[in-house]
Every structure is written in structure tokens, then in C-alpha cells.
Amino acid sequence: MPGIQELAIHMGSSNPLAGKRDAVSWVAWFTFANGLFAMLVGLRYVQWIDITDVTTAAYVAVLYPGQFALIAWLFGLPLLPVALLLPVRLTRALAVAAAVVGIGILAVDTVVYSLYRFHLSGFVLELALGAGGQAFTLSAATKVVAVAVVLAILLAELGLAALLNRTRPRGRWLGAGFAILVASQLGAHGWHAWADANYDSRITSVTRHIPLYYAATAKRFMQARGLVDPQAVRENQSAEKLVSARGGRLDYPAAPMRCSAPAEPKNLLIIVADSVRWDLLTERTMPAVSALKASSQVFERHFSNGNATKPGLFTLFYGIPASYWDAFTAAQQPPVLIERMQSLGYDTRVLASATLVSPAFERNVFSSIENLRLETPGEKPWQRDARITRDWLDFTAGRQARGDADPFFGFLFYDTTHSFEVPEDYPKFEPYWNVNRFALDNEFDPEPFMNAYRTAGHYVDDQIRRVLDDLRQRELMDDTIVVFTSDHGEEFNEHGMNYWGHGSNFGDYQLRVPLVIHWPGMEPRTYSHRTQHFDVAPALVRNGLGCEATPPKQFSSDFGLFNEGRLGWNMSHSYMDYALLMPEFHLVKHASGTVELLDTTTLQPASKARIPGDVMREVLREMSRFYQSDEG
């Protein structure tokens, strides 16, 4: 009956509560519709995903609806309270504007990803803006296309808004839509966690291609409850599966290596002590390693490219930014350094006090090494440190007993300097503090804490002394390159900003580490120019493994370990944050998406800092050049 319908409409429009409900309903459906719009735009990422079978395709199908709906809701959720406060027309205008911006950013991200293989972020925007327009130059045709795309998105959003204003599904379908999206998110994250624990790179390789997707992992949880045994899973993988997983969309090395067999290949032993900053290496604290300096190449201003273990060791072995971690892990691509030694028949022994499962070094750095021990027995780090020392001595004794002539590669990773805990009866620096990190604040006296750190360093040095004495006893020092360094440094509130430990900023205390290389045939020398972990692997590959003819930039971000001419910028990563390091300031991108410009010395906010356009282009290239550039 027309009269009754008109009366109902009139009453509904005059009822403020009903009007607000209608506005909220419109916003919710508009956001859901934009989730579909975002998914359509996001289909462009599919061309970079290796969908090799039905399982991978099914995972992508589960992941896409929930993830792109979530992206839409990041823009739509703030509009729900707005709909309760503002007039309907203004709410819808704001919703259309937010949708145009959101879909536009997603479209730009697909372009950025096609060019650089990483997603748009505050860090990239700050680089571009800080370059003062020098970084990107757009042709007239490109500008016309960009304007056309924005207008097309605007027209599509206006049309969608008008359609939902006239008609929209019943409210109960809204709840069903939410249930599907939640199920999609939970299903994708649960599937990824299981795949990650079971080395299924078909699934884990998808993650990096999807914007704002931080996939769940639960290896340690599953291992603790007996749901998975990483050692058994790894050993049960066939060699064919490991090989087929490698490569992916990587272009690493960028061209075939040009190498020849060394006439007399040297053994290589890399010793890493966790959390050792440069000034812990003194004759009083670490006498054995200090004594090694007399016959070594000593780099006084060496910096890790990470303030945590994951990026620190990754950059040490690969010599490239840790932003490649996900791609190299998914592809199970080992570093050129390891592959070169394997091609020369090196006998390999990797012994780590800390687990190799998390971070997953067994899937990138050591992915090609068979019979890799993922966990070292021992309840405490100092016990495991003693164990890996004994195991190393057994390894060298066994080689001598068998008369092995092949060169060896050894990696020893000590962890006591990370935990600061030593045996009860071990001599201690005084005043000593039994570490309770909950007691730390800006007023805490760091000296007792530093003494616990020094004691841990002395204990690790004692283990290294046994290793070096063994090499001398077996007359191997003249045939062995020995590298000593750390994954990152350690801070004791030197900046007065309540920074303790590592992983929290990119200042010298958390990045500057010792680097001592005993290199037979080289005259001992001390270098004072700035070096970094990026430089170490290329120097070993080219100068120690017969690849002098290969340009270092072909497989690394090397700036020259022995070359005193330095580039004016550097990069460093944490677990979630990363930074562009300039001489005067740091540009830091946080996990939250925020970006800060900080003074290099004080770590206080910097003002009037500007990034040269050529630096910005070099940084973007360095973060992307080891991905394949062609899509064919």
C-alpha cells in the first residue's frame, strides 16, 4: 500500500536512531564491497606467486578474501564511529574519499612491487619525499595514466556508493560475511604455521608477495608439544625437493660466478659470539682473541648490518640486506659463500649453541648442508657453549686420525654473551650482578651489569682459546682463515634513554662489533675505515675461494672490506624494523609503519635532514636487484 510505505519511510527518516543505524549499515557494506575491490586490484600480485600445484592455489584462495578484506577494514573501521557522529552525506563523502585513497595506495603498491619486489611503506615514502623530488621522474604520459586511474577509481567508488544507497543485502548477511572473513584469516594463518613447521616452501613463499600480511609461525610451540620434529622433518626431505625449492623468483647471483680452484685452498673457521660489541674485546676481558689480533687483519670500526641475531648472521654470510630474508628462506637458497665451499669439496661442521630453527638459519644460510644439527644438547647456554667446543675438538681430532686432506669449513656460534649466565664457580668481574632485566630503568647503575657481560665474554673467550690452541697444536693455523666477529652489539643505557640490550635502535653500541681475521699469507694490519658485515663474505669468496674474477656486486652489497673508500650510506635491520644509516642521521622504519629521522650520535629527532636523490635510488636498487626483473 503506497500510503503506508510512504509513511514508514517518513517515520524512518525522522527517527535519528534509525538514521544512524542505516548510516552504519551503509558504511559496513561499503567497506565489504571495497574488500572485493581491493581483492580485484590485488590479483595483480598473483603473477609473482609460484602457484605450482592445487595445494598452493587452494592456499592462495583461502588467503586472498580475508587479507584484502582486512586491508579494506583498516580504512573502513574508523568510519563506523564517524557515521554515528556526522551527518549522513558527510559520512558518505568521507567514506568515498577514504576508499579512493586506500584503493589508490594499493594500486601504487602493485606498481612499486612490480619494479622493486617489495611493498610500499613509510620508509619508501620518506625516502622519496626526503629526496626532494629527485628520486622519481615521471613522464607526461605516466602522469596522464595516473590521473586517469585515479578518476576511474573515483567514478567506481561513487557508483558503488550510489548503488548501496538505493539497495543493499539484509543485515544477517553482514554477520555471515564477517564469519567468512574470520575463517579465511584463521585458516590462512593456521595453514601457514603448519607449513612453516614442516618446511613446505610452496606455502611460505607466498607470504612476501601479499601486502600487510604477517603470517603466523609456531615452530617452537609445535615442537614443544611433540606435533613436529624439525630435525626429523629436515632429514626426511629428499635432496630433489631441497633443490627444487631453491631459486624461486630470485636472481642470485646476478650472473654466473667466474671462479677457479685455488692452488692451496685454506680451511675456513668462522667464530661468532652473540652480542659482543667492539669494546668487549680487550686483553683483560677476552685475552685469547686479543692475542690473535697480533697475527691478523683487525678492523677497528666494523659494524653489523643488524642489531639482532637474525639480520646479523644473514648479512654476514650473504653480504646483502636482510630484507631478502623471506625470499631466500622460502627458496631455501644458500649463500654463495657456502655453495662455493661445497663445490670445492670442503668438509663442513656447523655447531651452534643457539637453535638454528628460530630464526630459521637451517632454511637459508645452512639449507644445503646435510646432517645439520639444529639443537645442541644442554640446559643452559654456557653448557651448550662447552658442548660445541668439545664437538669441534672431536671433529679436528677425527680428521687427523683419518688423515683427511680436504679443506674444512667450521662455524662456531657461542651464546653465553647473550644470556650472561656462567657456571657458579667461574671467576667473575666485581661488583657482579645476577641479571634481572625487570630491574633495569634509566637510573640503574650499569657497572655491575657490565661486569656480568664481561664475565660472560671471558667465559666465551676461554672456549675460543681451546679452539685456537687445538689449531696450533695440530699445526693448522698456517692453513686456516679464522674469522672472529659478532652478530650484533649490546647497549647499557649509554644514550641515557633506557636502552638496554639490543634490537631497539641502530646506534653504535648495538651495531659496532669486533672483526678479527687471521688470514695466512697476509701481513698483520689494523684498519681504521668503516667496514660492515656486507663486506665479509665477498672478501672470503673472492680472495680465499678463487673467485677474484667475479665482481663483488654480482652476489653481494659489498663496499670493499680492504677498500678505504666508503659509500655514504648503509643499511641495517632488526627483527621488524630497518634503517637507512647516513653519516649525520638515521631514517628508521618501525614495525608500526611509522618513520623517524634520528641524529646518528644522540638518537634524538633530527631536523632539516634531506636524502639525496641518488642515495634513494641506490637504496631501492640494493633492496630489489636480487629479485628477477622479468616476468616471462
Give the pLDDT confidence of 132-190 residue by residue, as tens digits.
444 455 567 767 888 899 999 999 999 998 998 888 887 778 778 888 888 999 999 99
**Look-up of cell digits 622479468:** 630
Helix H or strand E encompassing 383: helix 381-402
Tell me which range, 129-143, 388-402, 601-615, is most confidently predicted by mean pLDDT. Answer: 388-402
* Residue 300 pLDDT: 96
Of 54 and 125, the one with more pLDDT? 54
Task: Please provide the DSSP assignment of 301-347 as one string.
Answer: EEE-SBSSHHHHHHHHHH-S-GGGHHHHHHHT---HHHHHHHHTT-E
* Residue 12 pLDDT: 41
CA distance 485 to 271: 7
* Residue 6 pLDDT: 42
Find the mean pLDDT for residues 116-144.
Answer: 63
Lowest mean pLDDT among 59-68, 123-132, 508-517, 541-550: 123-132
Of 260 and 91, the one with more pLDDT? 260
**DSSP 3-state percent helix, strand, coil across the chain (nearest 5):** 50, 10, 35
Q: 377 pLDDT exceeds 60?
A: yes
User: What is the amino acid identity at position 22?
Assistant: D
* Residue 581 pLDDT: 92
* Residue 125 pLDDT: 65
User: What is the amino acid identity at position 562?
Assistant: F
* Residue 219 pLDDT: 81
Q: 243 pLDDT exceeds 50?
A: no
3-state SS assignment for residue 360: coil
Find the mean pLDDT for residues 592-604.
Answer: 85
CA distance 497 to 440: 12
> Which residues pair with residue 302 across a beta bridge?
513, 531
pLDDT interval class at 18 (50, 70, 90): low
CA-closest candidate to residue 400, choices 349, 482, 476: 476
Give pTM, 2 decimals. Answer: 0.81
Helix H or strand E encompassing 370: none
> What percent of the chain lies above the pLDDT cut of 90?
59
Are the C-beta atoms of 134 and 620 separated by less than 8 Å?
Answer: no
Of 317 and 181, the one with more pLDDT? 317
Of 476 and 69, the one with more pLDDT? 476
pLDDT tens digits for 327-362? 999 889 999 999 999 999 999 999 999 999 989 999
* Residue 127 pLDDT: 59
Are the C-beta atoms of 354 and 415 separated by less than 8 Å?
Answer: yes
Of 598 and 124, the one with more pLDDT? 598
Are the C-beta atoms of 486 and 307 separated by less than 8 Å?
Answer: no
CA distance 248 to 242: 12
Q: Which residues contact 532 (CB under 8 A, 6 or more apart)?
A: 302, 303, 304, 305, 315, 559, 570
Cα dihedral 129/131/132/136 (nearest 10)? -80
* Residue 247 pLDDT: 44
CA distance 202 to 50: 8
* Residue 177 pLDDT: 80
pLDDT tens digits for 35-61? 999 999 999 999 888 888 899 999 999
CA-closest candidate to residue 244, choices 55, 52, 374: 52
Domains annotated on the chain, with CATH: 13-209 (no CATH), 266-558 (3.40.720.10)
At 249, list the grid cell.
623468483
